[in-house]
Chains A and B, each alone.
Chain A
Amino acid sequence: MSLDKTIKGLKTSFSKELSKSKSSQDLENLRIKYLGRNGQLASLFEEFNKLPAPEKPRFGKELNILKNQLTDQYQNALGSNSENSASSDVDFSLPGYDLPDGNIHPLEQITSEIKSIFQSIGFSVAYGPEIDDDYHNFEALNVPKHHPARDMQDTFFINPNAVLRTHTSNVQIHLMENQDPPLRHICCGRVYRNEAVSYKSFCLFNQVEGLVINETSSFAEMKGTLEYFVQEMFGKDTKMRFRPSYFPFTEPSAEVDIWNSKLNQWMEILGCGMVNPNVLSNVGYDNEKYQGFAFGMGIERIAMIKYGIKDIRLFYQNDKRFLEQF
């Protein structure tokens, strides 16, 4: 019977103390005293364990009710307490979690942007080896050995017949060797030039090249395609011009400049031209039947223009203070 009393007494003293508890610290003390692991309720349960079996069901029920009541009362008090004192206890002015901030490299961002512009007009993307034989990098592209055009691209040699590709055009050759027209592809990847490293040139850079071969693609279509690209990439109002140039693998060839109104000058952004018939015959295409155009651009150059970057080496230094800006 004494247990009955104890239950009642506990109930009353708990309520009394609860009504006096003001701060959350008071409440916590109360919780420990009554509901804690070594609290009064716990010792009641211990006593309960000592009871003879027949008495257990009744007191078990009572104790459970008591436990629920006290817990509920405590929870309610805690709830109203935290509602009242929310602004005083939690400092909402603290900064939120500083989540790690990752990024995609600026060159990758530009590449993706270029890819998606061309994918939107049906270009597939092709890849190929960075080390290739002389044939795929030069000869098949109408750059014979001992031709002055070889000076246009300073080359790293792996052996006398294998080079670090100087452009991604080798991918175009592989593509045409394995596939019949029509073709509408871009190729992208790293290319290498044996040039002194400085703020404006690096020993490698990234390129995107395009190739369209079918029975009708003309110079006019090349212009239309590249105008679309420039407008998508640099904005609808971008002023651009095509001017004649020379590449061994295209004829007629052109270079595309866009107007930089800040610097008040033309800036070269890509080269293009009608695919030289020799290139087509080298891969076994009928160059009377098929024609088309090709173009190529350097990603670093475009990124430098777009982001106002003055030193190309920044792209390969991976300074967090640089990367975090993208």
Chain B
Amino acid sequence: MKVSLHWLRRFVDFDFTATELAEKLTMRGFESEVVSDFDSLENLVVGDVLTAEKHPDADKLKLCSVSDGSETFSVVCGAPNVDAGQKIVFAKVGAVLPGDFKIGKAKIRGVESFGMICSERELGISEEHDGIMVLDESHKAGTPIKEVLGPLFNAIDIEVTPDKAFALSHRGIAREVATIVGCKLKTPINSVKLNPKSKDVVSVELDKKGGCTRYIAGTMKGVKVGPSPKWLAEYLKSVGQKSINNLVDISNFMLLEIGHPTHVFDLKKLAKPGIKVSWAKMGEKFDALDEETYELSTDHMVITDTKNTVALAGIIGGMDSSVTDSTSEVLIESAYFDPVVIRKGSKKLNLLSEASRRFERGTDPNAALEAFNMIVQLMQEVAGGTLESVITDECSMSLDNTSVDLSSEKLLKYAGQEIPSKDVESILKGLHIDAKKTKTGWKCSIPTFRTDLKVETDLIEEVFRCYGYDNIKSSFNYSSIMQYANDEESTISSLKHHLSSLGFHQSYNNSLEDVEEVKLFGKDAVSVMNPSSERMNTLRTTLHSGLLKNLDFNYRNGSANTLIYEYGTIFEGKTDKLEDIIQKSSLSCLVHGDVFSKNVHFDSIPASFAFLKGVASNIFEDKRLGIKVKFSEQKHHYCDPYFSIIDGKKQVIGGLGIIKDSLLKQLDIAHKHEVVVLDVDPEIFTDYGSYSTKVEDIVTFPIVQRDLNFKMDSSIQVGEVVKTMKSVNQSILQNVIPVDIYQSKKDTSTKDVLFSLNFQSPKKTLEDNDVNAIITEIINIVSKKFNAKLRDN
């Protein structure tokens, strides 16, 4: 909300610059930014345009000579409205405009320019940028701009949080400023008793179900639509609003002055001077002031002239009953609407207005009458009308202050330190809260404009806020003996570090993906009802999709070698019901290219299936898990081959596979080698912590190593041969490692496989005989089972 210092001064006197005010309000809970602080702007003066001629080298530019009273400068200006004889805002070389825009010497189309003639937008005054700002002729060239524009246009922007409805006006902010400087609020418009000309009564009927609990109405006649007086237009201009005509301006002015929305109907366009507040009919069409047609539902509260809908209550007025240049009689509405009703109505139509923003946060019911009186007074003054009807005030709500107790014990407990009673009392008084001392604390009478103060903690917050958070001393009393700090993911964390030390990069991918892409991975996906873009409308069902994108991105950026992994949540759901949605943590790795590139020392080591299989064994066969894994081939939607990784209890704890080319093609993933993925079920790592090391005795007897070379059919899986060999003896045969496979180019139907066998006994030094018997058996079994032939070494 843009707030003008000029406007604030209607209510309170203060000496702060815009920058200082923004800082003070920020520390009170009103986050503020400076829009324009002319006091801080140097090298900005009133300039006198002596000449303005066409730029020699550009049709749309003008070459001006500008005087600052003592010197004349050559300035290139692009504004169409610049002309000789104008008084303008001249930013000299060295000036810094709002938004950190520095003015330096410049050469524009070959002509040197010393400074700039400013538009309103460049000065932070309004959005006006079609031309330069032209000042009143009475100003003297050379006068610092802060003296000319500062008083009117110094402004700040305040982000008012949703709870602080009371602050959505200049008076609301001024109240806060008054508590900062410690003075009383002024009353710029004195309420006088209004005397109606006639005894006419506007009938007002409220709906019994609530929604609108106060409605004040009255009519005025003899109103003349015309331009606003200068003072009124200037206030609006000080917050960047354009003056439209006196009637519209008054209504806008009142909103920004005290924060209570009002509405003015053209009386002649109403069926009769009577108002009925009710609910819209389902599907009812409503032509609003913003030239849109809205389809209403029974949630919408509407204002009718007993026949037709003339306004969408608290949100926007109707087109047909709006004031125009020919309006001479008006009906003025000032009401209180239920915040939830306005909120629902405005959300449903996605229609936010200045009025709805205030009503949905909760307005002051007493301000309704105040606003009505002020608007009538202003109309009389500015537009010349007179109050015609008796003021109707239909009210079914309490207009009294509410009462909230504040206990001094609670205040102490919350703060953690004493806040002196006299400070508490003066803070409350400054906030217009009447606090009566009781045995336990204070009985506080809350003014109706503070709709946000309902319970004790609301008051505690006010006390803290005004006392200053900085004045509450911090305390730190964590003892050295702490409760056990638990983190179930600490084991996953060590797994991540493990992978990283193996050379993997950790990825963080978007969980939201394109449904068309998600579908390719073949699972029931969960979609978002209101995506921000079609590219991100569905939750990922696997981490593979993101990792593939990472491969593609890096490949296209010159890095073919990819070792990546991600740990994150994946989602699946047969329906969008919460109980049908499975969301679980998952960890996947993807490799492509080389682990080691070819270099002077050795050939490349590819990031192949075998590499990732090794990574899998390395991860799962961690001592702390005590798992022996098996790889079991399975059919897979988009991998070929794909192996489930199974632990000793026959549970699937992961998977390993090569992504099918067809999927890579569909997703257009750049690659040149096989793309291998590994899935790891992170849950098995949660038992990590319970592992306690038991050291085994180190076997000191020597290892006997033997080699066996078999010729066998090419189709035989070496892993199966190893398994068979191992099954022959489990006491002294420690390991069987295939060390070499040779296939001659002439005969591809067979291959030679060299196995290295290690024998070791924990009890004694092995003799040849111990080993030979086993070797013989192995040769027999392998020869028979695989039809393999032992070859001479």
B755 CB, min distance to chain A CBs, angstroms? 22
Indicate if B773 sits at the interface (CB-CB under 8 A).
Answer: no
Over the window 461-478 of chain B, the binary record of Cβ atoms lying under 8 Å from chain A Cβ atoms (1 yes, 0 no) is 100110001101111111
Given that A119-B485, A219-B472, A321-B557 are contacting pairs, would A158 and B529 also be in contact in the complex, using a CB cutoff of 8 Å?
Answer: yes
CA distance A274 to B500 in the complex (A): 40
Indicate if B455 sits at the interface (CB-CB under 8 A).
Answer: yes
Indicate if A56 sits at the interface (CB-CB under 8 A).
Answer: no
Contact B554 A162 (CB under 8 A): no
Task: List, in ascending order, chain A residues with CB within 8 A of B161's CB.
Answer: 245-246
Contact B31 A218 (CB under 8 A): no
Closest to B554 in A: A320
Indicate if A184 sits at the interface (CB-CB under 8 A).
Answer: yes
Contact B503 A97 (CB under 8 A): no
Closest to B597 in A: A98
Contact B596 A318 (CB under 8 A): no
Closest to A100 in B: B503
Contact B508 A203 (CB under 8 A): no
Task: List, in ascending order, chain A residues with CB within 8 A of B460's CB.
Answer: 251-252, 274
A151 CB, min distance to chain B CBs, angstroms? 7
Contact A115 B487 (CB under 8 A): yes
Within 8 A of B (CB), among A215-231: 216, 218-221, 223-225, 227-228
Task: List, in ascending order, chain B residues with CB within 8 A of A152's CB.
Answer: 162
Indicate if A195 sits at the interface (CB-CB under 8 A).
Answer: yes
Indicate if A59 sits at the interface (CB-CB under 8 A).
Answer: no
Contact B536 A203 (CB under 8 A): yes
Over the window 193-237 of chain A, the binary record of Cβ atoms lying under 8 Å from chain B Cβ atoms (1 yes, 0 no) is 011110000111000000000001011110111011000000000
CA distance A152 to B162 in the complex (A): 8
Indicate if A5 sits at the interface (CB-CB under 8 A).
Answer: no
CA distance A95 to B529 in the complex (A): 55
Within 8 A of A (CB), among B581-608: 581, 583, 595-597, 599-601
Indicate if B559 sits at the interface (CB-CB under 8 A).
Answer: yes
B460 CB, min distance to chain A CBs, angstroms? 6
Given that A119-B487, A124-B487 are contacting pairs, would A223 and B29 also be in contact in the complex, using a CB cutoff of 8 Å?
Answer: no
Among the stretches A20-28, A38-46, A104-112, A171-179, the one at the interface with B is A104-112
Closest to A109 in B: B506
Contact A157 B485 (CB under 8 A): no
Contact B583 A131 (CB under 8 A): yes
Task: List, in ascending order, chain A residues with CB within 8 A of B26's CB.
Answer: 243
Residue picked from A100, A101, A251, A255, most chain B C-beta under 10 Å: A100
Task: List, in ascending order, chain A residues with CB within 8 A of B599's CB.
Answer: 95, 97-98
B611 CB, min distance to chain A CBs, angstroms? 11
Task: List, in ascending order, chain A residues with CB within 8 A of B532's CB.
Answer: 156, 194-197, 203
Contact A122 B483 (CB under 8 A): yes
Task: List, in ascending order, chain A residues with CB within 8 A of B476's CB.
Answer: 221, 224-225, 227-228
CA distance A89 to B433 in the complex (A): 93
Closest to B357 in A: A148
CA distance A243 to B26 in the complex (A): 7
Given that A156-B528, A225-B476, A243-B469 are contacting pairs, would A107 and B483 also be in contact in the complex, using a CB cutoff of 8 Å?
Answer: no
Given that A123-B485, A184-B483 are contacting pairs, would A94 and B601 also be in contact in the complex, using a CB cutoff of 8 Å?
Answer: yes
CA distance A252 to B163 in the complex (A): 12
Task: List, in ascending order, chain A residues with CB within 8 A of B27's CB.
Answer: 241, 243-244
Closest to A252 in B: B461
Indicate if A14 sits at the interface (CB-CB under 8 A).
Answer: no
Over the window 415-433 of chain B, the binary record of Cβ atoms lying under 8 Å from chain A Cβ atoms (1 yes, 0 no) is 1110000000000000000
Contact of A246 among B29, B529, B578 (CB under 8 A): B29
Contact A224 B475 (CB under 8 A): yes
Over the window 547-568 of chain B, the binary record of Cβ atoms lying under 8 Å from chain A Cβ atoms (1 yes, 0 no) is 0001001100101001110001
A26 CB, min distance to chain B CBs, angstroms? 25
Contact B596 A97 (CB under 8 A): yes
Contact A219 B415 (CB under 8 A): yes
Contact A149 B163 (CB under 8 A): yes
Indicate if A127 sits at the interface (CB-CB under 8 A).
Answer: yes
B536 CB, min distance to chain A CBs, angstroms? 6
CA distance A133 to B578 in the complex (A): 7
- Chain B interface category by residue count: 35 or more
Indicate if B164 sits at the interface (CB-CB under 8 A).
Answer: yes
Contact A102 B563 (CB under 8 A): yes
A278 CB, min distance to chain B CBs, angstroms? 8
Indicate if A47 sits at the interface (CB-CB under 8 A).
Answer: no
Indicate if B326 sits at the interface (CB-CB under 8 A).
Answer: no
CA distance A80 to B285 in the complex (A): 103
Task: List, in ascending order, chain A residues with CB within 8 A of B526's CB.
Answer: 131, 158
Task: List, in ascending order, chain A residues with CB within 8 A of B464's CB.
Answer: 219, 244, 252
Indicate if A161 sits at the interface (CB-CB under 8 A).
Answer: yes
CA distance A121 to B482 in the complex (A): 7
Contact A252 B162 (CB under 8 A): no
Task: List, in ascending order, chain B residues with CB within 8 A of A218's CB.
Answer: 413-417, 475
Task: List, in ascending order, chain B residues with CB within 8 A of A127's CB.
Answer: 488-489
Task: List, in ascending order, chain A residues with CB within 8 A of B744's CB.
Answer: none
Given that A158-B576, A246-B164 are contacting pairs, would A251 and B478 also be in contact in the complex, using a CB cutoff of 8 Å?
Answer: no
B522 CB, min distance to chain A CBs, angstroms? 21
Contact A100 B596 (CB under 8 A): yes
Indicate if A254 sits at the interface (CB-CB under 8 A).
Answer: yes
B776 CB, min distance to chain A CBs, angstroms? 24
Among the stretches B113-121, B383-391, B509-517, the one at the interface with A is B509-517
Indicate if A291 sits at the interface (CB-CB under 8 A).
Answer: yes
Contact A251 B578 (CB under 8 A): no
Contact B578 A252 (CB under 8 A): no
Indicate if B307 sits at the interface (CB-CB under 8 A).
Answer: no
Indicate if B458 sits at the interface (CB-CB under 8 A).
Answer: yes
Task: List, in ascending order, chain A residues with CB within 8 A of B666's CB.
Answer: none
CA distance A315 to B510 in the complex (A): 10
A182 CB, min distance to chain B CBs, angstroms? 8
Indicate if A166 sits at the interface (CB-CB under 8 A).
Answer: no
Contact A244 B29 (CB under 8 A): yes
Indicate if B493 sits at the interface (CB-CB under 8 A).
Answer: yes
Contact A220 B507 (CB under 8 A): no
CA distance A129 to B340 in the complex (A): 30
CA distance A155 to B415 in the complex (A): 34
Over the window 132-165 of chain B, the binary record of Cβ atoms lying under 8 Å from chain A Cβ atoms (1 yes, 0 no) is 0000000000000000000000000000011110
A113 CB, min distance to chain B CBs, angstroms? 12
Contact B343 A148 (CB under 8 A): yes
Contact A104 B162 (CB under 8 A): no
CA distance A241 to B508 in the complex (A): 32
Contact B568 A164 (CB under 8 A): no
Residue picked from B360, B532, B596, most chain A C-beta under 10 Å: B532
Contact B509 A318 (CB under 8 A): yes
CA distance A158 to B527 in the complex (A): 6
Contact B465 A125 (CB under 8 A): no
Indicate if B499 sits at the interface (CB-CB under 8 A).
Answer: yes
Closest to A108 in B: B506
Indicate if A103 sits at the interface (CB-CB under 8 A).
Answer: yes
Known contacts A100-B596, A102-B502; 15 additional CB pairs below 8 A are: A97-B599, A104-B496, A108-B506, A157-B529, A157-B530, A159-B576, A159-B577, A162-B578, A164-B539, A223-B469, A243-B29, A244-B461, A244-B464, A244-B469, A291-B414
A-side residues, CB < 8 A to B, are 94-95, 97-105, 107-108, 112, 115, 118-125, 127, 129-133, 146-149, 151-152, 156-162, 164, 184, 190, 192, 194-197, 202-204, 216, 218-221, 223-225, 227-228, 241-246, 248, 251-255, 274, 276-277, 291, 315-321, 323-324
Identify 20 residue pairs between A and B in the complex whose beta-carbon atoms are under 8 Å apart, listed by A's number.
A98-B597, A102-B500, A108-B496, A121-B478, A123-B485, A131-B581, A146-B340, A146-B343, A147-B343, A159-B578, A164-B528, A219-B415, A242-B469, A244-B28, A244-B461, A245-B161, A246-B164, A274-B414, A277-B457, A321-B557
B-side residues, CB < 8 A to A, are 26-29, 31, 161-164, 339-340, 343-344, 347, 360-361, 413-417, 455, 457-458, 460-461, 464-465, 469-470, 472-478, 482-489, 493, 496-497, 499-512, 526-533, 536, 539, 550, 553-554, 557, 559, 562-564, 568-569, 571, 576-578, 581, 583, 595-597, 599-601
Cβ-closest 5 pairs across A and B = A100-B503, A218-B416, A220-B416, A244-B29, A122-B482
